[in-house]
Amino acid sequence: MSALADLSLVEVAAKIASGDVSAVEVAQACIARAEATEPELQGYSLLMAEQALQEAKARDEEMASTGPRGPLHGVPVGIKELYDVAGTPTTSSSKVRADWMAETDCASVAQLRAAGAVILGKTHTHEFAYGVATPTSRNPWGDDHIPGGSSGGSGAVVAAGSAYMAMGSDTGGSIRIPAALCGTVGLKPTFGRCSRAGVTSLSWSLDHVGPLTRTVADAAATLNATAGYDPRDPGSVDVPVEDFTAALGRDVKGLRIGVPGNWYFDQVHPEVETAARAALSLLEGEGAVLVEATIPYAEQIMATEFAICLPEASEYHRRMLRATPELYGDDVRVSLEAGEMVPAARYLQALRVRQVMQRAWARMFEGFDVMIAPTVAAPATRRGQETMDWGQGVEEPVIQTFVRYSAPANLMGLPAMSVPCGFSSDGLPVGFQVIGRPFDEATVIRVGDAYERMTEWGARRPPILAAA
Amino acid sequence: MSAEMTPNADPTLGPGDMPALEKAARLPLTPERREEAAATLDGMLALFDALDDVDLGEIAPTNSFDPRWRTLP
């Protein structure tokens, strides 16, 4: 297996820029890794090997004539199935849109190409991003386990080394959940930071786009390429875009970290809690100040998330649900049907509660700079598992187990990044999330990078690479 | 006030309640789908009851409308 495929995005970009390797050699390494792992992994819905090699050749020619396009010059990346990539179908991993052809690139893909990236393929999503299992794909750390979702394909291919970065989308945790379950970094930027133009929607009020990567530095480099105002996205916010890589290499001395005393450590897998608290101790040992935090309106978090998401998703699918209902998977179809019958007043009530919660979260954040909590309540569940057994007769739908801790950052629109922080006794990855103030991705990146440099979780390679 | 209208009346929603909702939504369901959708909807509506515990006062919802005319690509 090629060691080239095991480098980080930043490392391989530097090698291409210095002429140590060509973009074609890098693309070949990534394609070889994909060909070795995909028969089992199924992270890609569409592997565009020939096209990627042509793009890589063009990047090498550009490098020789005019120099690099940008910081991602020649780097192969994966794109979630929800994103429009010109000339390819945007299926959303659904039979409903099997022939839905994209004529132009979505905003993110255009930005990535402008930065020099090579589009290697499309990655599977849970159908229309409406779920956390991504049943099409496997977890590289355990083929009987889900990769998480909805950006499960992106998590799988990044962890397996068949893409240096893959874009995801996050409505209730769909970047951070697969990142935590697959052992990658996953960054959900602030609502409005990155354009969603050309990306299939699940819930307009909650959708975010962002990268899954092997390192925090890779996430910062990708955010540099994809951040910025776009009037085509009504949620886009016109704020200055800084160089997010400037936050790398710093320490956490004096930084105040909020540690939730409620909600985020309620009903949590003991190995997840142990790993997250160990990470907090490590950061405290490096000079961070831990501050206890109380999550306001915790009892309303899931109600608000679903009372907004359900009707918005159903409205997006209104015509398709009536035209081709039989083409939807059962789980997505029933959610769409139920969502049509949520009273409009309930939806508006949830939007109002969201405002109240936002004010309370702003007050809570006066006491610290970032908050750290487990990304999800448990490691990856088994394929087909529908409920989580918490013992003493307590069972919970798996979707709630994985969305509970990630949804608040969607509701509040805050930047949040999942960072690997250990492994369960079964060898499955565990992650914590750093949640920051609005548009303060820099501090989130600073903390994640500082922790990453103190640990070696990222050096482990998933079992699928030994089997491939 | 009738028993059906009191706040303490059982709010559980079942397949028998669905035809009126389907009619309002213009989304007719088969009996099999009706049962499944009723269970999902009932679970969600029960979850949403927690929203009633928040005093919203004069708070406006987060949805907004920008009246400026912008030339879009």
DSSP string, A245-262: GGGTT---TT-EEEEESS
Chain segment B15-65, per-residue pLDDT in tens: 999 999 999 999 999 999 999 999 999 999 999 999 999 999 999 998 777
Q: Count of A–B CB contacts within 8 Å?
A: 93
* 8 Å CB contact of A303 and B49: yes
- DSSP three-state, residue A288: coil
Q: What is the pLDDT of residue A361?
A: 97
Q: What is the pLDDT of residue A2?
A: 63
- C-alpha to C-alpha distance for A27 and A42, rounded to whole angstroms: 19
Q: Which residues of B touch A321 (CB under 8 A)?
A: 27
Question: Quick one: closest CA in A to B39, which residue?
Answer: A338
- C-alpha to C-alpha distance for A250 and A248, rounded to whole angstroms: 6
Kindly name the residue from A8, A22, A45, A80 that is annotated as catalytic. A80
Active site residue A425: no
Torsion of CA A149, A153, A157, A160, to 10 degrees: 60
On the CB side of A312, CA atoms within 13 Å amount to 22
Q: What is the pLDDT of residue A27?
A: 98
Please provide the size of chain B in residues: 73
* 8 Å CB contact of A232 and B73: yes
Active site residue A2: no
Report the greatest alpha carbon distance in chain B: 57
Q: What is the pLDDT of residue B65?
A: 76
Q: What is the pLDDT of residue B2?
A: 45
| Residue A202 Cα to chain centre, angstroms | 15
Residue corresponding to tokens 């009536």: A322
Q: What is the mean pLDDT of each run of 10 residues along chain A (468 residues)?
A: 88 97 98 97 98 98 96 98 98 97 98 98 98 98 97 98 98 98 98 98 98 98 98 95 98 98 96 98 98 98 98 98 98 98 98 97 97 98 96 95 98 98 98 98 98 96 87
Residues sharing a CB contact under 8 Å with residue B58, sequence separation 6 or more, in sequence order: none
Q: How far is CA A299 from CA A63, A305, A357, in A?
A: 55, 11, 11
Residues sharing a CB contact under 8 Å with residue A156, sequence separation 6 or more, in sequence order: A41, A42, A43, A123, A124, A134, A137, A138, A139, A140, A147, A178, A182
Torsions phi, psi of B40, nearest 5?
-65, -45
| Residue B18 Cα to chain centre, angstroms | 12
Q: Which residues of A touch B66 (CB under 8 A)?
A: 234
Question: Quick one: closest CA in B to A326, which residue?
Answer: B33
Which neighbouring-strand residues pair with A80? Answer: A123
Q: Which residues of A touch B25 (CB under 8 A)?
A: 340-341
Active site residue A154: no
Q: Which residues of B touch A232 (CB under 8 A)?
A: 72-73
Q: Which residues of A touch B33 (CB under 8 A)?
A: 333-334, 337
* 8 Å CB contact of A342 and B37: no
- DSSP three-state, residue A118: strand
Instruction: Label residues B49-71 b or e (16+ Cβ within 10 Å = b).
Output: ebbeebeeeeeebbeeeeeeeee
Q: In this complex, which of A307, A334, A337 lies closest to B51 when CB atoms are compared?
A: A307
ipTM of the complex: 0.93
* 8 Å CB contact of A303 and B73: no
- C-alpha to C-alpha distance for A462 and A40, rounded to whole angstroms: 13
Question: Quick one: closest CA in B to A411, which residue?
Answer: B62
Chain segment B2-14, per-residue pLDDT in tens: 445 555 567 889 9
- C-alpha to C-alpha distance for A340 and A46, rounded to whole angstroms: 32
- C-alpha to C-alpha distance for A319 and A401, rounded to whole angstroms: 31
* Exposed / middle / buried, residue A2 (Cβ in 10 Å: 0-12, 13-18, 19+): middle
Question: Quick one: closest CA in B to A350, which residue?
Answer: B51
- DSSP three-state, residue A329: coil
* 8 Å CB contact of B48 and A307: yes
Q: Is A98 left (phi over 0), alpha (psi -120 to 50) or beta?
A: alpha
Q: What is the pLDDT of residue B63?
A: 74
* 8 Å CB contact of A341 and B21: yes
- DSSP three-state, residue A97: helix
**Amino acid identity, residue A191?**
F
- E-strand ranges in B1-73 read none
